[in-house]
Amino acid sequence: MTREILDKTALRAQMKQTLAALTVEEKKYLSRKLVEKIEAWQEWRYAKNILLFMPLPSEPDIRQLMGYLADNQKSISLPRFDPNTQQYCAAKISHITSDLRYGQFKILEPSPECACVPINQLDMILVPGLGFDLQGRRLGRGKGFYDRLLSAATGLRCGVGFDEQILPNIPVEAHDVKLDWVLTPARLFGT
Q: Whole-model pTM above 0.75?
A: yes
| Phi then psi dihedrals of residue 171, to 5 deg | -60, 145
Integer Cα distance of 53 and 121 in angstroms: 17
pLDDT of residue 6: 54
Residue 91 contacts residue 52 (beta carbons within 8 Å): no
Residue 85 contacts residue 147 (beta carbons within 8 Å): no
Q: Which residues contact 110 (CB under 8 A, 6 or more apart)?
A: 77, 78, 80, 91, 92, 93, 99, 100, 101
Kindly list the strands in the beta sheet with 166-167, ordered across the sheet, starting from the edge strand earlier in the chain: 138-139, 131-133, 166-167
Taking only the tens of pLDDT, the chain with its 191 residues reads 344 555 888 899 999 999 999 999 999 999 999 999 999 999 999 999 999 999 999 999 999 999 888 777 899 999 999 888 888 999 999 988 889 999 888 899 999 999 999 999 999 999 999 999 999 999 988 777 888 888 889 999 999 999 999 999 998 887 888 999 999 999 998 87
Answer yes or no: is 21 within a domain. yes
Residue 69 contacts residue 93 (beta carbons within 8 Å): yes
Answer yes or no: is 153 within a domain. yes
Q: Diameter of the chain by CA atoms?
A: 50
Answer yes or no: is 140 within a domain. yes
Answer yes or no: is 191 within a domain. no
pLDDT of residue 67: 87
The residue segments making up the domain with residue 58 are 3-123+136-164+177-185
Integer Cα distance of 26 and 24 in angstroms: 5
Answer yes or no: is 171 within a domain. no
Answer yes or no: is 172 within a domain. no
The total number of structural domains in the chain stands at: 1
Answer yes or no: is 34 within a domain. yes
CATH code at 42? 3.40.50.10420
Nearest CA among 189, 176, 100 for reference residue 137:
176
Integer Cα distance of 25 and 44 in angstroms: 26
Answer yes or no: is 142 within a domain. yes
